[in-house]
Amino acid sequence: MNMIPQKPGMVIAGAVILMVVLSAGCLGSAVQKPPVPCSVTLVPGQNLTINETQDNAIICAKPGSTFTLELNDSSQVGNQ
């Protein structure tokens, strides 16, 4: 096998270019989205039953609060 020795300057330049390319995404400023406002906020100890009346609502639950999800039984829809 005939191996061509590489110059140390080329190896270092290649390593620097590789580090710049890999870290390019980390150097940009982080764009943060503003927080989404809550339609309903549950406080600790509060319980909320969620059903179709909360359509498209944003519900924020604090630790210690609970919610019950009420699903409609649509097994009879269309059967006559």
pTM to 2 decimal places: 0.45
Q: What is the Cα–Cα distance from 69 to 49, expressed in whole angstroms?
A: 6
Average pLDDT over residues 9-23: 79
For residue 64, name the pLDDT band (cuts at 50, 70, 90): very high
**Residue 79, token pair as written in the block:** 């059967």
How many other CB atoms are found less than 10 A from the CB of residue 4?
A: 4
Q: pLDDT tens digit string along 21-37?
A: 777 666 556 677 788 89
Q: pLDDT tens digit string along 53-63?
A: 888 889 999 99
